[in-house]
Amino acid sequence: MTEAVDMNLLEYEESIEKAIDYLVGELGVIRVGRANPKILDKILIDYYGTMTPINQMANISVPEARMMLISVWDMSQVKAISKAIEAANLGVNPSDDGKVIRLVFPALTEERRKEVVKEVSKLSESAKVACRNCRRDVLDEFKKMKKNNELTEDELAVLEKEVQKTLDSAIEKIEKLIQSKEKEVMEI
């Protein structure tokens, strides 16, 4: 096989890994009734003219399963962080005593759990679609190479099987991630 084939396969595998990594990041942000510092990752605060994530401005700890404690290093930013958390619409209200911010996560209702499972399913489907699009792109490249007589029919068939095998393992990985997240969400 040529170097171009190897490069295409490598790019394909990297694209699939990116899709799975993105899914893992999105699943980490989904609130499941337990305190998870990752839900604060996307919240940015204007800290002296620079948009800064909370985890770079404070220590975030989870003293209890449903409580998160945010110890802000610069006390002048406690109110700004509290307001940013409220504005992020996470379903929790921050309470601060001027020194630390407490987030108490309410238990999820059965209805909310089902909604979250639907969200998880949508994320799963979009990750699978992204992986399938990667497969389509790499197969199109290989078909162009065959058309230009850079590949034989047999080489193309072997590559198609290899690409499909990579996709199947990625979809299996996605399914496992989704199943464990759904189990976590439905847990009381």
pTM for this model (two decimals)? 0.70
Residue percentage of the chain with pLDDT more than 70: 97
* pLDDT band for position 17 (cuts 50, 70, 90): very high
- From the list 118, 184, 131, 105, the residue with the least C-alpha distance to 23 is 131
- Can you give the residue ranges of every domain in the chain? 3-29+109-186, 37-104
**DSSP one-letter code for 32:** -
**Average pLDDT value for residue range 21-26:** 88
In whole angstroms, give the CA distance from residue 12 to residue 35: 36
Give mean pLDDT, residues 158-175: 93
When pLDDT is cut at 50, 70 and 90, the band that residue 33 belongs to is low
Q: Same fold for the domain at 3-29+109-186 and the one at 37-104?
A: no
CB atoms < 10 A from the CB of 32, how many? 20
**Are the beta carbons of 36 and 24 closer than 8 angstroms?**
no
- 44, β-bridge pairs: 53
Residue 16 has pLDDT above 80, yes or no: yes
CATH T-level fold of 37-104: Gyrase A; domain 2 (3.30.1360)
> Sign (positive/negative) of CA torsion 70, 72, 78, 83?
negative
| Residue 124 CB partners (closer than 8 Å, separation 6+) | 23, 174, 175, 177, 178
Residue with tokens 């993105």: 22
Q: What is the CA radius of gyration of the chain?
A: 22
In the numeric block, which tokens belong to residue 5? 């084939």
CB 97 within 8 A of CB 87: no
Closest CA to 45 of 8, 95, 97, 81: 81
pLDDT band at residue 31 under the 50/70/90 scheme: low
- CA dist 1 and 145 (Å) reads 11
Q: How confident is the model at residue 2 (pLDDT cuts 50, 70, 90)?
A: confident
The fold of the 3-29+109-186 domain, in CATH, is Topoisomerase I; Chain A, domain 4 (1.10.132)
Question: In this predicted structure, what is the pLDDT of residue 104?
Answer: 84
